[in-house]
């Protein structure tokens, strides 16, 4: 083990000086009371003590559900006769942003391999853990956060923040003709690269790449947009928040492990 430097020892001792909160004397009692309140009923526990029977039941149900609706109904009837009720729901709750047509729902820690991008995600407590991640056919990865009190949801989308990343290193210039009077455009520098902050109600933006070719950018939230490029990756941050909050998010971006 390497020896701590004086500063490291000082910081550790500083931790002892912090006015930390102390646990209530009843914390463990309350935790255990909640756990015991959630324990299965006597009948449920009896079933759980018979793992083989339970496992066979799960296997039968799993196999039959692959087959026809009539077979499913027959098994449901059989189990119902045995006093076991199974609730089957045909629809799962949609993922955050599912209606925005951002692509296929994927896992953040797996999608980086698919698109060969070093994806980044805000590592701070704000905005926190993403609510969903999508991969489009064109290789755009969009990370979604639901609206919160400080970054309210845009319209009726339920979404407060979108971060889209895709390969490319174009110096983008906004095509002025695509911007209406209600939309403000600010040129700035983000991560040492030229960037655009587009504030207002633009729904579709036409950008020009370095060769003057138009690039159509469709915003999903009709909110504010920060566009910039870093290390060969284009970034588009859509947020109901202001420029300062957008830049705060950029500041805590870190590679997805």
**Residue numbers at the binding site for another protein (CB under 8 A):** 5-24, 27-32, 34-36, 38-39, 123-129, 145, 148-150, 248, 251-252, 254, 257
Backbone angles phi, psi at 213, to 5 degrees: -80, 135
C-beta of 253: minimal distance to another protein in Å?
9
C-beta of 44: minimal distance to another protein in Å?
12
CB nearer to another protein: pick between 1 and 88: 1
CB nearer to another protein: pick between 3 and 6: 6
Backbone angles phi, psi at 114, to 5 degrees: -70, -40
C-beta of 158: minimal distance to another protein in Å?
13
C-beta of 98: minimal distance to another protein in Å?
19
C-beta of 3: minimal distance to another protein in Å?
14
Where does residue 165 rank: exposed (0-12), middle (13-18), buried (19+ CB within 10 A)?
Answer: buried
Backbone angles phi, psi at 32, to 5 degrees: -65, -40
CB nearer to another protein: pick between 77 and 254: 254
Sequence-distant (6+) residues with CB within 8 A of 224 are 197, 198, 199, 200, 238, 239, 240, 241, 242, 243, 246
Of 119, 161, 114, 163, give the one whose Cα is nearest residue 137: 114
C-beta of 231: minimal distance to another protein in Å?
16
Give the integer Cα–Cα distance in Å for 257 and 255: 6
Neighbours of 130 (CB within 10 A): 17
Give the integer Cα–Cα distance in Å for 96 and 93: 9
| 215 contacts 142 by C-beta, under 8 angstroms | no
């Amino acid at each position: 083990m390497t020896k701590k430097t004086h500063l490291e020892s000082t910081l550790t001792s500083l931790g002892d000086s912090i006015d930390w909160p102390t646990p209530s004397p009843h914390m463990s009692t309350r935790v255990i009371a909640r756990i015991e309140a959630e324990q299965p009923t006597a009948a449920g526990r009896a079933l759980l003590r018979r793992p083989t029977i339970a496992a066979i039941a799960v296997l039968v149900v799993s196999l039959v559900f692959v087959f026809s609706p009539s077979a499913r109904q027959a098994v449901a009837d059989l189990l119902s006769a045995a006093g076991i009720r199974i609730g089957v729901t045909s629809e799962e709750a949609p993922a955050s942003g599912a209606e925005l047509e951002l692509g296929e729902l994927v896992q953040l820690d797996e999608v980086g391999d698919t698109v060969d991008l070093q994806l980044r995600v805000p590592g701070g407590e704000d905005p926190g853990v993403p609510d969903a991640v999508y991969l489009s056919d064109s290789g755009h990865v969009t990370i979604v956060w639901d609206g919160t009190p400080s970054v309210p949801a845009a319209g009726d989308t339920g979404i407060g923040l979108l971060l889209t990343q895709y390969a490319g290193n174009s110096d983008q210039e906004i095509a002025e003709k695509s911007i209406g009077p209600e939309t403000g455009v600010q040129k700035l520098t983000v991560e040492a690269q030229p960037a655009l902050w587009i504030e207002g109600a633009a729904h579709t933006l036409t950008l020009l790449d370095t060769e003057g070719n138009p690039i159509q950018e469709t915003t999903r939230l009709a909110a504010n947009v920060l566009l910039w490029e870093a290390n060969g990756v284009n970034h588009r941050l859509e947020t109901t928040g202001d420029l300062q909050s957008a830049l705060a998010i950029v500041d805590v971006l870190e590679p997805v492990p």
